[in-house]
Chains A and B, each alone.
Chain A
Amino acid sequence: MTPLLSFLNVSKRCADGGREILVLDRACLDIDAGVSVGVYGARRSGKSTLLRLAAGIALPDSGTVSFDGADMAQMSAAARSRLLRSAIAFMSADDWRANAGESVVDHVATALGSEGLTMREARHRALRVLDQVGVGAAGAQETASSLSLTERTKVMLARALAREPRLLVLDEPAQMPNLSDRDRFYALLRSATRERGMALLVASEEMAALQGLGVLMSISDGELCSTEERGTVVQMPGRRRAGAERPGW
């Protein structure tokens, strides 16, 4: 079966002053439909680059990123942009941009602009998704720009879910002051993606935020470490004598 998202030896470099830095180093990763993956990493570890490559926002310098079997680098910029408005949703807490005076429901409905829906149909779908993320009818009429951080995050999630993507990519989505709110948001995220059978790739600087996800990975210096690799790296080839026993310490 073709994985929904596949990274094969993906590397990405960026300029830092006069020299080049390897931001992602030969990353390999397969995510099937319905699988949730959490990536834990500190700042400047390469996790945002990984997510931007997964969403097709950036392209690798070497290696292949494929979505549903299609090489992203072979797609036109327009095709990748269409993908990002349909089958892939990307959400980053830094991306919050609400128009002045815009209501929450309109903010979500405008994300559906490319779906060929009337505004009335788009609002109807927006209200349904907002309800699913815990924003009721009254909250949907509030002004989007005046929302608290917690409510804003829920609305961003609703906006991402409204297009019914097959892959949801989230970069540090829940920067909330209240820990219970954060836990509730992640519980909501887990159930929303599970119910829809969508794949989830989410990165955070806090390992606790990634609790309950199907697969946990870490990234540092652009190098991915996955629980899925268990047992593949066990011992060094060495100077061990043939038949010598391993000490049990």
Chain B
Amino acid sequence: MRGPSTPLRGALLGLLLERPGHGGDLANRLAARLGETWRVDTNDVYRLLEQLEKTGLALSRDEPKRGNHRRTHLVYHPTEETSEALTLWMETLLPREPVRLGLQAKLSVARQEDAPRLLIALRAYERECLVLAQLVAPNDGEARSWAALCMECTRDAVYAQLQTEVDWATRTRRRINEFLERDQ
């Protein structure tokens, strides 16, 4: 499945492996984990959980609600396939634009054993940003018209964004490497 919700689907696998939960609980945990910059739609989460169940990556059971045992709700559990699917997602490199979100989602639920996969994904992303920067036509410092100036400013915006992305990727790699060194 492709589209903007795909990183959420991967992140849900990680959350399910941590502990089972009902749709609202998983949506809340997802929102808390991904942070304020990510708008998590609860309806998307329910839809993704249904899809995960259809593909054998989650299993739902009617279980009594906490505090009100006469009422039940669907609680999603991981299956035998869930862990391997999470590993596959960690290994999967994505095309340009959605990668940052995908990486952020991976980082939010990564297990320590995923560190090598994250390091590879971060390096691939860094390289992808460099490729994009290489494609941007250069400014020649001779903006003679307002339109040319605006074009230069637009290119600057692209460079600023790509530089930030490369900095983030290298900083994240450094954090992971420093942790792994300390942990040895």
User: Which residues of A are at the interface with B, using a C-beta cutoff of 8 A?
Assistant: 40, 42, 179-187, 190, 206-208, 210-213, 215-218, 220-221, 225-227, 229-230, 233-236, 238-241, 244, 246-249
Q: Does B107 contact A (CB under 8 A)?
A: no
CA distance A181 to B177 in the complex (A): 39
Q: Could you tell me the distance in whole angstroms from the C-beta of A86 to the nearest C-beta in chain B?
A: 30
Contact partners of B7 in chain A: CB under 8 A: 249
- Contact pick for B138, options A187, A230, A235, A247, CB 8 Å: A187
Q: Which of B34-42, B70-78, B120-128 contacts A (4 or more CB under 8 A)?
A: B120-128
**B166 interfacial by beta-carbon distance below 8 Å:** yes
Whether the pair A208, B159 counts as a contact (CB closer than 8 A) is yes
Q: List 19 other contacts, CB 8 Å, given A235-B120, A239-B87.
A: A182-B141, A183-B139, A187-B139, A187-B141, A207-B166, A211-B137, A225-B127, A227-B131, A233-B120, A236-B91, A236-B117, A239-B84, A240-B87, A240-B88, A240-B91, A244-B88, A247-B1, A249-B2, A249-B6
Shortest Cβ gap from B30 to chain A (Å) = 15
A249 in contact with B1 (CB, 8 Å)? yes
Count of residues in B whose CB is under 8 Å from the partner chain? 47
Q: Which residues of A contact B46 (CB under 8 A)?
A: none
Question: What does the 1/0 interface line of B133-177 toward A look like (CB < 8 Å)?
Answer: 110111111110000000010011001101100110010011001
Would A207 and B133 be within 8 Å (CB), given that A239-B84, A246-B92, A247-B85 are in contact?
Answer: yes
- Interface status of B10 (Cβ within 8 A of chain A): yes
Chain B positions near chain A (C-beta within 8 angstroms):
1-2, 6-7, 9-10, 84-85, 87-89, 91-93, 102, 116-117, 120, 123-124, 126-127, 130-131, 133-134, 136-143, 152, 155-156, 159-160, 162-163, 166-167, 170, 173-174, 177
Complex contact A218–B10 (CB within 8 A): no
The 10 closest A-B pairs by CB, nearest first: A212-B138, A183-B141, A184-B141, A220-B170, A249-B6, A208-B159, A211-B138, A207-B163, A187-B140, A183-B139
Asked if residues B116 and A236 are in contact (CB atoms below 8 Å), the reply is: yes
Between A and B, 29 residue pairs with Cβ closer than 8 Å are A40-B163, A179-B141, A180-B143, A181-B141, A183-B141, A207-B133, A207-B162, A208-B155, A211-B139, A212-B138, A218-B126, A218-B166, A218-B170, A220-B174, A221-B174, A225-B123, A227-B131, A227-B134, A233-B120, A235-B93, A238-B91, A240-B87, A241-B84, A247-B88, A247-B89, A247-B92, A249-B6, A249-B7, A249-B102
